[in-house]
Amino acid sequence: MAMPMGFAAQIKVLQETQREQAERIAFLEQENAELKASEDQNLVARIDALERHNVHLTARRKEAVAQLLNLRTLHQEANNAFHLRSIDIQPDDLEGVLVVYGTSITSVVNHHQRALAHLSVGSQLAQTPMYSTTAPYPRYINQGCLPTSPMPIGYAYPAAYAQSGYCLAHNIPYPCRMCDR
């Protein structure tokens, strides 16, 4: 930029340059403020969206835990074991409930496998049914004597428990911690 020779002309050029620089500074400050405002709005919007998503996921976890805890099986022993194991589980501990539920399902599957194995062996050997309370009379035909009473078979639960697996005195699932049986 060429400077004019006169003093008044130099002052005029300097004033023009200052005005241009002031306009440029004002424009840059306005642009900077707009960028900061939009960036803040974007960050706030993203944080709000993430918080809503987190609340939604937490609600879904709690719902899944509640549904699994309310689940009941027809197999009483597995149901009692599930109930005992799930007493101390927190409302949002989905992993803990899944572990307890998987263990209960495994015990039901094992029970069914044992029952099927017993039934297949029982049908081949013509033995007593799996859930009889007494054994049939032994065959003493050749000896000529009969026993006075049938031989007892052990129950799945001790005598103080109902067939459903609950303590008769305290209505607590097996094993009852109050009776210590």
Residue 164 in any domain: the answer is yes
Residue 150 has pLDDT above 80, yes or no: no
Residues 162 and 96 placed together within one structural domain of the fold = yes
Task: Write out the residue range of the structural domain in which residue 21 sits.
Answer: 12-70
Q: 174 to each of 36, 109, 133, 167, how far by Cα in Å?
A: 65, 20, 20, 7
HSE on the CB side for 56, CA within 13 Å? 6
Residue 149 in any domain: the answer is no
Among 51, 70, 89, the domain boundary falls at 70
Q: Is the separation of the CB atoms in 167 and 158 below 8 Å?
A: no
Residues 26 and 100 placed together within one structural domain of the fold = no
DSSP 134-154: BPPPP--TTTT---SSPPB--
Q: Confirm whether pTM is higher than 0.85.
A: no
Residues 43 and 77 placed together within one structural domain of the fold = no
Residues 167 and 84 placed together within one structural domain of the fold = yes
Residue 80 in any domain: the answer is yes
Residues 21 and 35 placed together within one structural domain of the fold = yes
Q: Kindly report, residue by residue over 1-57, the tens digit of the pLDDT.
A: 566 678 888 889 999 999 999 999 999 999 999 998 888 888 889 999 999 999 999
Band of pLDDT at residue 135, cut at 50, 70 and 90: very low
Q: Which of the listed ranges 5-19, 44-58, 103-117, 165-179 does the model predict with the highest average pLDDT?
A: 44-58
Give the pLDDT mean for 119-143: 52
Residues 38 and 111 placed together within one structural domain of the fold = no
Residues 36 and 121 placed together within one structural domain of the fold = no
Residues 103 and 163 placed together within one structural domain of the fold = yes
Band of pLDDT at residue 137, cut at 50, 70 and 90: very low
Residue 169 in any domain: the answer is yes
Residue 109 in any domain: the answer is yes
Residues 40 and 107 placed together within one structural domain of the fold = no
Residue 105 in any domain: the answer is yes
Band of pLDDT at residue 162, cut at 50, 70 and 90: confident
